[in-house]
Amino acid sequence: MIAVIMAGGSGTRFWPLSKESKPKQYLQLFSDKTMLRKTVERLYPVIGPEKIFIVSTASQKELIRKNVPEIPEENLIVEPLGRNTAPCIALSAVYLSGKYSPQENMLVLPSDHVIIEQDVYLASLKKAEEAASKGFLVTFGIKPDYPATGYGYIEAGEVIEENTYRINNFKEKPDYKTAKSFLEAGNYYWNSGMFMWNLETIIESFKQYAPSIIEPVFDIVDLYHNTDAGSTISKIYADIPKQPVDVAIMEKSTKGIVIPVDYHWSDVGSWRAVSELQEKDKNNNTLPEKSLVITSEDNYVHSSKLVALIDVNDLIVVETDDALLIADKASAEKVKDVVELIKKRNWTEYL
């Protein structure tokens, strides 16, 4: 088994702490280790650094080297630019097919998730590896514990074997009523964005269902080690359709299966999600060590200053050297809209 960690995201929902120079996966949100570092180390009981590959943009290469220096430099797969997960996975699969057997199993992971139950996680990889060796396209479905509206869902169908099901459908992020009905139905799982398949199966699936993605990728990989081909590679890659692998492959294939898992997972998609994972005081506040609170509840504050809260509830407050974010917790997803406004005003120093 080899692992491909997708680390090219910009993390705009975590502004102002996350910037173009330091995206979300390089933040130390929950410990003294970055999220990328935690993702890599989580694999070490079953996969060594020589079989872990990281795919990202060239601008993040130095950040990757700093965070995981033990990963060989040749294991860094460089995307010319972000085109969503389908082109990223296609590029990785074709690149790796030149190094490994077609039957080698390929685990695909985001770089910025939180997983608490390490032993359960590793056991799920073993189960997925067995299924991938049989030619299935495996995804991991998170058992929902509340009717979340911020996640996509996977509808499980026919039983393949114990705790393994064919995928009936992928569902977009639902409204609350629909999410509640999914929870009550019992066969819907949060879409984790984690996958396992063998190289042959995924490459053949791209050829069958997304040839407009895989065909130019073969041309790119042929040029990959040509030091003079950078602009040509970028031009080819920019013309590839921008699609998630769920849409390009998983929704179309008859080989898709889901393995339900429960290991206290979070994709940490917003400051609100961070607040839910942090320690809280008796009033459900997450605060710096030096803070004063007067009748305030359910707040999250990230700051190096002395903080005093008076009669405020459900706020996100994030302070850095050059910016201050104040938002209602319910509107935490809109932080990415702030980043878009900054871009429109050309305030690049805040990006």
One domain, residues 316 and 207: no
Domain boundary among 245, 266, 287: 266
Contact 206, 214 (CB under 8 A): yes
Question: In what order do the strands lie in the sheet containing 324-328?
Answer: 300-302, 315-319, 324-328
pLDDT of residue 224: 85
How crowded is residue 164: how many other Cβ atoms within 10 Å of its Cβ? 19
Helix, strand, coil tally for the chain in percent (to 5): 40, 25, 35
One domain, residues 231 and 311: no
Q: Which residue has the tokens 């917790």?
A: 329
* 277-295 residue pLDDT tens: 999 999 999 999 999 999 9
How crowded is residue 326: how many other Cβ atoms within 10 Å of its Cβ? 11
H-type alpha helices, the chain: 35-43, 61-67, 85-97, 118-132, 176-185, 199-209, 211-223, 230-238, 245, 271-277, 335-344
Domain boundary among 266, 295, 322: 266
Which has more confidence, 11 or 83? Answer: 83
One domain, residues 315 and 190: no
User: Taking CA 86 as the corner, what is the angle to CA 208 and CA 143, rounded to the nearest 5 degrees?
Assistant: 105
One domain, residues 110 and 146: yes
One domain, residues 262 and 184: yes
CATH of the domain at 175: 3.90.550.10
- Residue 194, domain extent: 2-266
Mean pLDDT of the chain: 95
One domain, residues 298 and 342: yes
One domain, residues 244 and 279: no
* 307-344 residue pLDDT tens: 999 999 999 999 999 999 999 999 998 999 999 999 99
* 133-188 residue pLDDT tens: 999 999 999 999 999 988 999 999 999 999 999 999 999 999 999 999 999 999 99
One domain, residues 130 and 277: no
Which has more confidence, 25 or 20? Answer: 25
* 106-137 residue pLDDT tens: 999 999 999 999 999 999 999 999 999 999 99
123-146 residues labelled b (16+ CB within 10 A) or e (exposed): ebbebbbebbbeebbbbbbbebee
One domain, residues 154 and 288: no
* 63-104 residue pLDDT tens: 999 999 999 999 999 999 889 999 999 999 999 999 999 999
Contact 36, 112 (CB under 8 A): yes
- Percent of the chain topping pLDDT 90: 91
pLDDT of residue 341: 97
Confidence of residue 10 (pLDDT cuts 50, 70, 90): confident
Q: Which amino acid is at 210?
A: A
pLDDT of residue 11: 76
Spell out the long-range contacts of 24-28 with Cβ–Cβ below 8 A and sequence spacing 24 or more. Answer: 24/112, 24/268, 25/111, 25/112, 26/63, 26/67
One domain, residues 225 and 238: yes
Domain boundary among 234, 266, 298: 266
How far apart, in Å, are the Cα atoms of 86 and each of 70, 146, 240, 241? 27, 29, 10, 9
* 186-241 residue pLDDT tens: 999 999 999 999 999 999 999 999 999 999 999 999 998 788 898 999 999 999 99
pLDDT of residue 140: 98
The SS3 call for residue 149 is coil
One domain, residues 162 and 34: yes
One domain, residues 95 and 26: yes
pLDDT of residue 12: 87
Count the domains in the chain.
Answer: 2
Report the candidate in 5, 267, 258 with the shortest Cα–Cα distance to residue 139. Answer: 258
